[in-house]
Amino acid sequence: MRRGIAVSPGVAVGTAYCIHTILVDPERSRLEAEDVAAELDAYQSAREKTIADLRAMQSKVERQLGHQEAAIFAVHEAILRDRDFTQKVQTWIVEERFTAAASLQRLLEHYSYLFAHTHDSYLRERLNDVRDVIQRLSAHLNAQTVPRMPSLSGPLILVADEFLPSHAVAIGTTDVRGIVTQTGSRTSHAAIIARGRGIPAVSGVSGILKHVKTGDTIIVDGREGQVIVNPDAEVKSAFRKLEREFFLLKDQLAANRDQPARTVDGVELELLSNINGVTDAEAAVAMGAAAVGLFRTEYLYLTHPSIPSEEEQFEAYCRIIDASPGRRVTIRTLDIGGDKTVPYFGHHHQEANPFLGWRSIRLSFEHPEFFNTQIRAILRAAAYARQHDGHVKLMFPMITTIEEIHRLRAMMRRVKQRLRRARKPVADVPTGIMIEVPAAAVSIRSMLPLVDFVSIGSNDLIQYLMAADRDNPKVSHLCQPIAPAVLRVLTDVISACKEMDKPVTLCGEMAGQPSSFVLLLGMGLRSFSMSPPLVPSIKDLTRNISVQQAERILEHALKLKTTSQIKRYLTEQLRRISPNIEMLETA
């Protein structure tokens, strides 16, 4: 049994399929002079075939899943067409007499070294894209096909160093029951994909590929972060029972998708979904979400080789609106910087503390023309939604001061005036702010008169409060949503919103975690936004608890001194309220 980070709840038993790198580390023997030209031709041929692969994949995914989901392959093609990328390979072939395969291996080592020395987790994730492109090239050089899912029988557990975009596409309709990765965190590709598909997953299992081979029986416990390889009959039988219970519970909960989210004492709650694209919006409908509580528009930018035009954004937002529950969507303006950067905003230097630096709304203010373009597209999309009985709200991230809100209000007025002068359809939309900076949480009562609603971004708020990067394994244990300090701040923010009659939603991970959900309910929160697959379990929990009961649990929890005490107490209470709920919560 090996331990990692529990990133997607549930239990799965299946046959291991190990996704090893397809690069065969070639012996770097020197080419003869007369072989150099042929090797350059071989590389160019592989490059052209890889471009054709990427375009075909982009077309296929766009038809099946949508434009945004397919755009990652345009990014991969841009990497492949990068002058420096090809120039390095060609130089090593000509000057060092390396084979093309050896040059690609050297290029991967070069990028791996560069990316290993950055503290920017988004840049480290981009190494996955570079590796994906190099693997495709290498496959063609070695006259192989790009790996597809195996024809093994029975449910599969994918085991990989990391989970690449091409792996996600390759899954298709294959019966993948679990994912295990050697690297990654709760915000890695593997974690996001697994939660979005409701697949149990464990990340950060160091050295797992040395202990498992394709065909082994493997157990994934995404609740406790455990992976068991080749279990004995007794252990396997026990986990098979847990697996059956997990899938039965999921099916039962999904069957209740049309039931209202109402507490035992009749209080109606609003369960919303966080989405990145059309596929997530469709999942929100399937899981019974009432609306989209957070559409992260940065995904549109991160997968686009250049700045998306106003028309491209408008069309993308309209597709999201059409796919969302009730055509109700809260759209957040671009939130990049920190762990997510794009080249066309001029991030030429590495910030010492990127999460505390030039990011989010601060970056948008520095690029007003770009920012105005996004607002124009959103306001036009809001008019489209209104014409089709939908509703759009506009939200601004990482607000720190009242001055920023005044500046945003002035910008909104100017954009609306210009749209009306241009005779473009425009809608007045409710505008809100995300509370993720402690300064904003402290100043909440001064800010509320200037906004229509508030959304609490608990992921960032928690790491800022605790001065701990949630993706840094050395300190991530401090980023606990039920830490006493976090609960006190959240209680104050929610109380302020209730006092001033301002709608408030929480859209961080804790909204979909049963233990923290109970505390938020006790604080008076009535609107929760979460990953689509989590909606059914929270809806079921809602129907098993009263507000009065949640208030009593919160009152006792606030008297406890430590996070571990609160956690033990909540575990006991959840077992009494809903015994099955433990299976749907990560440790």
> Domains along the chain?
2-20+148-252 (3.50.30.10), 33-141 (1.10.274.10), 261-584 (3.20.20.60)
Mean pLDDT of all residues in 556-575:
95
Per the listing, tokens 């979005």 go with 196
3-state secondary structure of 578: coil
Question: Where in the sequence numbering do the catalytic residues fall?
Answer: 189, 507
Q: How confident is the model at residue 272 (pLDDT cuts 50, 70, 90)?
A: very high
Q: Is-contact 549 485, C-beta < 8 A?
A: no
Q: What is the DSSP string of 439-491?
A: HHHHTHHHHGGG-SEEEE-HHHHHHHHHT--TT-TTTGGG--TT-HHHHHHHH
Q: What is the mean pLDDT of residues 194-223?
A: 86
Whether the Cβ atoms of residue 390 and residue 321 lie closer than 8 Å to each other: yes
Q: Which two tokens stand for residue 67?
A: 């434009």
Question: Under DSSP, is residue 276 helix (H, G, I), strand (E, B) or coil?
Answer: coil
275 three-class SS: strand
Residue 454 CA, chain-centre distance (Å), reads: 21
At 82-121, the pLDDT tens digits run 888 999 999 999 988 888 888 888 888 788 777 766 666 5
Which pLDDT score is estimated for 109?
A: 78
Asked if 524 contacts 506 with a C-beta cutoff of 8 angstroms, the reply is: no
| Maximal C-alpha separation, the chain | 83
Provide mean pLDDT across the span 559-566.
96
- Band (pLDDT 50/70/90 cuts) for residue 471 is low
Please answer whether residues 507 and 517 qualify as being in contact, where contact means their C-beta atoms are separated by less than 8 angstroms. no
User: By C-alpha distance, which of 7, 22, 13 is closest to 157?
Assistant: 13
- For residues 206 and 47, which has the higher predicted lDDT (pLDDT)? 47
At 146 the pLDDT is: 44
pLDDT given at position 83: 87
Least confident of 146-150, 444-448, 534-538: 146-150
The conformation of residue 337, written as its DSSP 8-state character, comes to B
In one letter, which amino acid is 236?
A: K
C-alpha 273/C-alpha 124 separation (Å) is 27
Question: What does the buried/exposed string (b/e) look like for 157-191 if buried means 16 or more CB atoms within 10 Å of the residue's CB?
Answer: bbbbbbbbbbbbbbbeebebbbbbbbbbbbbbbbb
pLDDT score of 52 more than 80? yes
DSSP 288: T
pLDDT band at 22 (very low <50, low <70, confident <90, very high): very low
Q: Is residue 153's pLDDT more than 60?
A: yes
- Lowest-pLDDT range, 63-72, 114-123, 225-234? 114-123
Side by side, the strands of the sheet bearing 201-203 are 2-3, 226-229, 217-221, 11-19, 156-160, 176-181, 201-203, 5-8
Tell the residue number behind the tokens 């766009």, with chain if given: 62
**Tokens 């039988």 -> residue:** 237
Task: Tell me if 320 sits within 8 A of 332, measured CB to CB.
Answer: no
String of DSSP letters for 3-55: E-EEEE--EEEEEEEEE---------PPPPGGGHHHHHHHHHHHHHHHHHHHH
pLDDT score recorded for residue 348: 40
According to the model, what pLDDT value does residue 302 have? 66
Top-ranked range on mean pLDDT: pick from 1-15, 525-539, 551-565: 551-565
Indicate whether 35 pLDDT > 70.
yes
Tens digit of pLDDT for each residue in 399-417? 999 999 999 999 999 999 9
Query: Beta strands of 193-291 (E only): which ranges?
Result: 201-203, 217-221, 226-229, 270-275
What's the pLDDT at 578?
87
Residue burial 80-95, b: 16+ Cβ < 10 Å; e: rest: beeeebeebbbebbee
Are 304 and 563 spatial neighbours (Cβ–Cβ below 8 Å)? no
**pLDDT for position 572:** 93
Concatenated DSSP letters of 141-192: HTT-PPP-----SS-EEEEESS--HHHHHHHTT--EEEEEESS--TTSHHHH
What pLDDT shows up at residue 130?
Answer: 84
Indicate if the pLDDT at residue 435 is higher than 50. Answer: yes
Residue 454 CB contacts under 8 Å (≥ 6 apart), including other chains: 432, 433, 434, 435, 444, 448, 493, 497, 502, 503, 504, 505
Query: Is the confidence at residue 346, as pLDDT, over 80?
Result: no
Q: Could you tell me whether strands 217-221 and 226-229 are parallel, antiparallel, or unpaired per DSSP bridges?
A: antiparallel
- pLDDT higher than 50, residue 145: no
- 287 has a pLDDT exceeding 50: yes
How many Å apart are CA 531 and CA 273, to the nearest integer?
A: 5
Decide if 431 contacts 396 (C-beta within 8 A).
Answer: yes
- Between 560 and 80, the more confident residue is 560
pLDDT at 124: 60
DSSP state of 333: P
Q: Please name the amino acid found at residue 27.
A: E
In the chain, % of residues over pLDDT 70: 84
Cα 2 from chain centre:
25
| pLDDT > 90? residue 228 | yes
> What is the structure's pLDDT at 101?
84
pLDDT, averaged across the chain: 85
The answer to whether residues 517 and 466 touch, using CB atoms and an 8 Å cutoff, is no
162-182 pLDDT tens trace: 776 556 656 666 788 999 988
